[in-house]
A and B are shown apart, each in its own frame.
Chain A
C-alpha cells in the first residue's frame, strides 16, 4: 500500500511539473508574440494597439533614463517629432515566474527624432503579468550598449 501511495505521489508530482512547464511554455510563446506586436505597433504609431498591451501602471524607462508613465509613452509614440523607421530585436530571451514573464534582449532602433537621424542599440527588460485574461507589460527599461 505504501508503495502504491508513493507511486501515485511521484506520478502526481511529475504531472504537476509537466503541466507547469507546459503552461510556462505557452505563456512565453504568447508574450514573445506580444513583443513583436509592440515593435510593429510602435513603428506604425498604432497607440490603440499599444494601449491594449500595457498595464495602466506601466513604468517605462527610456534609453536616456527618462521615466515615462503609460500616457506619456503613448503621447511620445504619437508625436510627429519621432519617426521610427525600423525596430529590430537582435536577441530575445523569456523566463516565466508565477503569473509573470520577463523578457530580456537587445534591440536596434533606427529613425529620426526632431528631424535628426538616429541609430540606437541597447539592452531591454520587459516585465509582463497575466491579469484580466491577458498579458500586460508593467515595466520596461532600456540601457544603451556603450561597450
Chain B
C-alpha cells in the first residue's frame, strides 16, 4: 500500500509541467495541491514516512497544534513514533489560493483515533499549508495548525 501511495504521489506531483501563470494554470495547480493534501492525510494514517518524504520540502517548517516547532526530520519521526492510532483523518473544509508561484491551502482537519491505552480521541485543527513547486514537483514548505473546539 505504501509503495502504491508513493507511485501515485510521484505521478501526481509531476503530472503538470510549469507554465506561465494564468487562471487555468492556477486552477490546475490548486487541484494538484488539494490532491496532495488528501494524500498527506492517507500517508499520516498509514504512518507512511517514505510517502510523506516526497510531499514535504527538506526545509519544511511545521508547527503542531500545541505550538511545537519541528523540521522535516522531526516531523517524520513523530509520525512514525505516534503512540496513538489514527483511524480516520479527513479535511472538513479546504480551499486553495494561488499567489504567483505559491499555493496556500486553508482548511479544517479532523482526526479520530485511539490512544495507546485504547481511549478514543478526537482532534480538530485549523491549518494553513504553503506549497511551492521545486524541480517540477509540488512540495509543502510551511504547515501550521491551531486547535479548535
| Residue with the highest number of chain A CB atoms closer than 10 Å, among B66, B67, B125, B145 | B67
Contact with A along B59-74 (1 / 0, CB 8 A): 1010111111100000
Are A138 and B104 interface neighbours, CB within 8 A? yes
Q: Which of A61, A64, A123 contacts B69 (CB 8 A)?
A: A123
Do B67 and A61 touch across chains, with their CB atoms under 8 A apart? no
B99 located at the interface, meaning its Cβ lies under 8 Å from any Cβ of chain A in the complex: yes
Is B128 in contact with A65, judged by CB distance below 8 angstroms? Answer: no
Tell me if A99 and B102 are in contact (CB < 8 A). yes
Tally of contact residues, A, Cβ under 8 A: 29
- In the complex, are the beta carbons of B126 and A61 less than 8 A apart? yes
**Total number of residue pairs linking A and B with CB closer than 8 Å:** 93
A127 surroundings in chain B (CB, below 8 A): 99, 102, 104, 128, 130, 142
B101 and A143 within 8 A (CB): no
Q: Does B41 contact A (CB under 8 A)?
A: no
Cβ proximity bits A93-105 to B, threshold 8 Å, 1 near / 0 not: 0010111101010
List of A residues within 8 angstroms of B99 by Cβ: 99-100, 127, 129, 138
* Contact partner, A59, options B128, B145, B148, Cβ 8 Å: B128
Question: Can you list 8 A-B pairs with a CB-CB distance of less than 8 A?
Answer: A59-B106, A61-B106, A64-B146, A102-B130, A127-B102, A144-B146, A145-B66, A147-B66
Other A-B pairs beyond A97-B102, A139-B130, 13, CB < 8 Å: A59-B104, A61-B128, A67-B126, A98-B101, A99-B100, A104-B142, A123-B67, A123-B69, A139-B104, A141-B126, A141-B146, A144-B66, A146-B66
Instruction: Point out residues on B near A: beta carbons under 8 Å.
Output: 59, 61, 63-69, 97, 99-102, 104, 106, 125-126, 128, 130, 132, 141-142, 144-149
**Smallest CB-CB A-B distances: 8 pairs:** A65-B148, A145-B67, A99-B100, A98-B101, A146-B66, A65-B146, A129-B99, A143-B146
Report which A residues bind B (CB closer than 8 A). 57, 59, 61-65, 67, 95, 97-100, 102, 104, 122-123, 125, 127, 129, 138-139, 141-147
